[in-house]
A and B are shown apart, each in its own frame.
Chain A
Amino acid sequence: MNAAALPLPLGRRPSRMGLLAGLSLLAALIALAVGAFPLPPAALISALLEPLGIDLGRHAADQSFVLWHIRLPRVLLAALVGGALGISGALSQGLFRNPLAEPALIGVASGAAIGAASVIVFAGSWLAALPAWAGAAALPVAAFVGGGLCTALVHRLARVDGRTAVDTMLLAGVAINALGFAAIGLLQVIADDEQLRGLTFWLLGSLGGATWSALAVGAPLMLLVLALGPLLARQLDALLLGESEAGHLGVDVQRLERRCVALIALAVGAAVALCGVIGFVGLVVPHIARRLGTVSHRWTLPASALLGAGLLVIADALGRTLTAPAELPVGAITSLAGAPFFLVLLQRRSARR
């Protein structure tokens, strides 16, 4: 390869990014077309075009209802949550300079789980006294606030001499997660049968809560992270050289770390609040993204977002159809598929070295 003919760094990648975006879109279209309710392609297209004033007359009213009020918000939520989890995973692995890191390490997931579990186990009686909308909002709000508080705690614990040390933060995150796990265990002991089942299902994650109003709350938060995350790409690349090297390259490392933590907490907090815990997306997706392109964050951040979106949309489509008319929690599917996949990746990685 001669130097003059070398592509620009990332030069060929825009087309590959386009391909990835196309595939994710295709996944979304397929997900719109499958489900328990019969909606053949002709009816799907006809129902999709209806609000544009184009009446093909190939669909019934109930098909239009299922598409616009159940499937579409659900596919959109799956794409947003998958994208948010994917980009958070890539951000975490860059922040901790460790390909085995995941968003949960900043404490946001266990904090959210404690918040949600507390509402499920303790709040039953006084929630009933609240108006319906407030009762329904209590769990996501508690999860989001719990995630934020726990992240702040981990970040605070990692401060030494006024600086946040990333390796200390990793250890603090592990410790807080262990504590969170213990707290959930305790809540499971206290819980009665119904609460226990509610808790189990919440911890498995589900997109069953997808409505336009849920999207209206969650989408801005997740879109914000999807828009801002890729702006940190070059600085995160520099951070992989080491904190002082990044500093020499003009990166304000403390500010970069704060921003990363804030974005991850925002994205994961919103995702967990709306859908419960969906495992392995944040851990596995960036690995796949790197294998499809390069390790540079200028590729991995947007590519992880697109891949995460596409994969979660597919996982949810499987969850909706495999046991129809019942459904499998999407978190169970991502964990079932993600864990062995991750092991294979690890094997290949160590074989390459």
Chain B
Amino acid sequence: MRPLLMFGVGALLLVLAALPALAAEPGRIVALGGGVTATLDALGLGGAIVAVDASSHPPAKNPGVPRVGYYRQLSAEGVLALRPTHIIGPVGAGPAAAIEQLEASGARVDLLPPVKSVDGARARIEAIGRLVDRAAQAAGVLEAFDGELARAKAVAAGSGRSPRVLFVFVHGGASLQVAGRGTAAHAMVTAAGATLAGDHEGYRPLTAEGVVVARPDVILATPRSLAGVGGEDALWKNPGLAATPAGQKKRLVVVDDVRLLGFGPETGAVARELAEAFHR
């Protein structure tokens, strides 16, 4: 985890070092990825965003913004039709041919390393702030971000406990999966001062016996996942869950997936909300 994080931050810094001096004019931005879009919005550039990808929430000021589909399957012409001057998204945006064509069209394309940690979110906010010449605003966002994180820590310290949290997620539209080490959910649960119930790497299918062994105090889910299993009542019917402290007290926390796993400016606030919910 640690080396990966340092690698990510290092890569970010390299990207930043290579950047030319920027104009203050924000231009027309296509934002790819929930975290990137939310960051740009928080930096006051919601109005400059001319399109977002399928995984982003549209900026608050611009709710009807066009969608360019899944960020790995962009249509070069579709994006160009929006006459963007700047495309910001995660590494992996594609297909490679479309990225090539977008760059060749003269638009600026900045692809940032994927973020799966709170520190990564901070670094990305800083990076985007510099990319769009909003460093001062980024510093402001980060101040609020750090304040929320500190509050999350305080809440956790105040309770003196570290509740076990089980994160369930619908993976690929099929079965219910449980998050393990190295996942984005792991980072968020940790930031909220709780312990992730799940000792495996990555995601693993939810089984009744696995749930009993995990002994969660709280279940964390996204609205989409909850709908996927048929609602809260259906969730509690899982035979394994009934035998856990979470099942007995029916403790469920539901957070929107883009906010929870997007690692944008709200990540600090989400960590604080989670801490408050977990340590109640």
Contacts and interface: CB of A to CB of B under 8 A. Distances in A.
Interface of A: 35-38, 62, 65-66, 69-71, 136, 188, 192-194, 196-198, 201, 206, 208-211, 214, 320, 323-327, 329
Contact of B77 (A71, A193, A211, A323): A71
B77 A36 contact: yes
Count chain A CB atoms within 10 A of each CB in B54, B77, B92 and give the residue with the most.
B77
A326 B68 CA distance: 4
Contact of A211 (B69, B81, B97, B171): B97
Nearest to B96: A136
The secondary structure that dominates the B interface is: loop
A341 B68 CA distance: 30
Interface stretch (B40-48, B99-107, B243-251): B99-107
Given A198-B72, A323-B69, A329-B73, A214 B97 contact: yes
Nearest to B100: A211
Interface in B163-210: 171-172, 202-203
B171 A36 contact: no
B70 A201 contact: yes
Contacts of A36: 75, 77-78, 80-81
A210 B101 CA distance: 10
B78 A320 contact: yes
B105 A62 contact: yes
A197 B78 contact: no
A70 B92 contact: no
Contacts of A209: 95-97
B73 A325 contact: no
Contact of B82 (A188, A193, A208, A325): A325
Given A198-B72, A325-B69, 10 more contacts: A36-B81, A69-B101, A188-B172, A206-B95, A208-B73, A208-B75, A323-B69, A324-B75, A325-B68, A327-B73
B98 interface: yes
A327 B67 CA distance: 10
Contact of B80 (A70, A201, A329): A70
B104 A69 contact: yes
Count chain B CB atoms within 10 A of each CB in A37, A188, A197 and give the residue with the most.
A37
A320 B78 CA distance: 8
Contact of A197 (B70, B74, B98): B70
A211 B101 CA distance: 8
Contacts of A38: 81
A323 B69 CA distance: 9
Contacts of B76: 70, 208
Given A196-B172, A197-B70, A197-B72, A325 B78 contact: yes
Contacts of A37: 77, 80-81
B172 A193 contact: yes
B92 A194 contact: yes
A325 B97 contact: no
B67 A326 contact: yes
18 contacts: A36-B80, A36-B81, A37-B81, A62-B105, A66-B105, A69-B104, A192-B203, A198-B72, A201-B73, A208-B74, A208-B75, A208-B98, A209-B96, A211-B100, A214-B97, A324-B81, A325-B69, A327-B78
Interface in B246-278: none
A208 B97 CA distance: 7
A65 B75 contact: no
A325 B75 contact: yes
A327 B68 CA distance: 8
Closest 6 CB pairs of A and B: A326-B69, A325-B78, A36-B81, A327-B75, A36-B78, A37-B81
A324 to B, nearest CB: 5
B36 interface: no
A35 B77 contact: yes
A206 B73 contact: yes
B190 to A, nearest CB: 20
Interface string B77-118: 111111100000000100111101100111000000000000
A198 B70 CA distance: 10
Contact of B66 (A69, A214, A325): A325
A36 B69 CA distance: 13
